[in-house]
Structure 1
Amino acid sequence: MNVTFCGHAQVVQIEQVTEWLYTITQVLIEQGATTFYLGGYGAFDNLAASVLRAQKKRYPQIEMILVLAYLETTKDTSGYDSTVYPPLETVPRRFAISHRNRWMVESADVVVAYVLHDWGGAATTLRYASRKKKKIISYCDRVGS
C-alpha cells in the first residue's frame, strides 16, 4: 500500500497533529502500508517525515520517498530512503509543485490530509484526491474533533 500526505505549510496544535500522525501511520503500517511519498515542503510535510522517521525505528521495512518537484534542487534528501522525480520536464516551473502533488495522489492508495480550509495548494490537492476516489484520512474527521 502506498501512502502520501497533503497539508498546509503551517501547522497549528503541533502536538495534537503529531499524535494523530503517529496513530494514523501506525495503523496504516499494520494494514500493510510500505511506501510513503512525501513532498518535503512546509510544516505538515516536515512533521509527517519526522513521524515516519520515528516509525521506521519500529518498522524498518517502510520506505520514505521524497518526491521532487524540481530536478535541480538543493533540498536535503538525507532523511529519506530515496527520491523520485515525476515526469515534469515539460511543466512550467511555477506549476511544478501542483503537478508533483497530483502525481503523488495518483501514485498513492491513501492520502493523509491536514487541510483546515478550502483554499490554497493543500485544498486543491485534497479535492483532486477526492475526484480520483482515493481513500482520504483527514485530520478534520478525527474522533473527538
Structure 2
Amino acid sequence: MTVTFCGHAQVSEGEKVEKWLCDVTQDLIEQGATTFYLGGYGAFDSLAASVLRQQKRRYPHIELVLVLAYLNTRKESSGYDRTVYPPLETVPRRFAISHRNRWMVETVDVVVAYVLHNWGGAAATLRCAKQKKKQIISYCDMMGS
C-alpha cells in the first residue's frame, strides 16, 4: 500500500496534528502501508516526514520517498530513502508543484489530508483525490468526531 500527504504550508495546533499523524501512520503501516510519498514543502509536509522518520525506527521496512517537483533544483533529500521525479519535463515551472501533487495522488492508494479550507494548493490536491476516488483520511473528519 502506498500513501501520500496533502496539507497546508502552515499548521496550527502542531502537537495535535502530530499526534493525529502518529496514530494514522501507525494504523496504515499495520494495515500494510510500506511506501510514503512526501512533497517536502511546508509545515505539514515537514511534520509528516518527521513522524514517519520516528515510525521508521519501529518499522524499518517502510520507505520514505521525496517526490521532486523540479529536476534541476537542489532539494534536501537526507532523511528520505530515495527521491522520485515524475514525468514533468514538459510542464511549465509555475505548474510543476500542482502537477507533481496530481501525480502523487494518482500513484498512491491513500491520501492523508490536513486541509482546513477550500482554496489553495492543498485543497486542489484534495479535490483531485476525491475525483480519483482515493481513500482519504482527513484531519477535519477526525475533528468532527
1-structure distance, mates of 2:91, 2:121? 17
Root-mean-square deviation (Å): 0.8
TM-score, length basis structure 2? 0.98
- 1:93 to 2:97 alignment: no
1:67-122 CA-partner distances (Å, limit 9, x unpaired): 00000122110110000000000000000000000000001100000000000000
Which stretch shifts more, 43-52 or 72-81? 72-81
- 1:2 to 2:10 alignment: no
- Percent identity of paired positions between Structure 1 and Structure 2: 78
1:25-79 CA-partner distances (Å, limit 9, x unpaired): 0000000000000000000000000000000000000000000000012211011
User: How many residues were matched structurally?
Assistant: 145
Give the aligned partner of residue 71 of structure 1.
71
Report the alpha carbon displacement of residue 143 of structure 1 after superposing the two structures with TM: 5.6
User: Which AA in structure 1 matches 2:63?
Assistant: E
1-structure distance, mates of 2:105, 2:59? 23
User: Which AA in structure 2 matches 1:51?
Assistant: V
Give the aligned partner of residue 55 of structure 1.
55
2-structure distance, mates of 1:58, 1:79? 15
2-structure distance, mates of 1:32, 1:51? 17
TM-score, length basis structure 1? 0.98
2-structure distance, mates of 1:118, 1:59? 34
Give the aligned partner of residue 27 of structure 2.
27
- Where in structure 1 do 4 or more consecutive aligned residues deviate above 6 Å? none
Structure 2 gap ranges (5+) = none
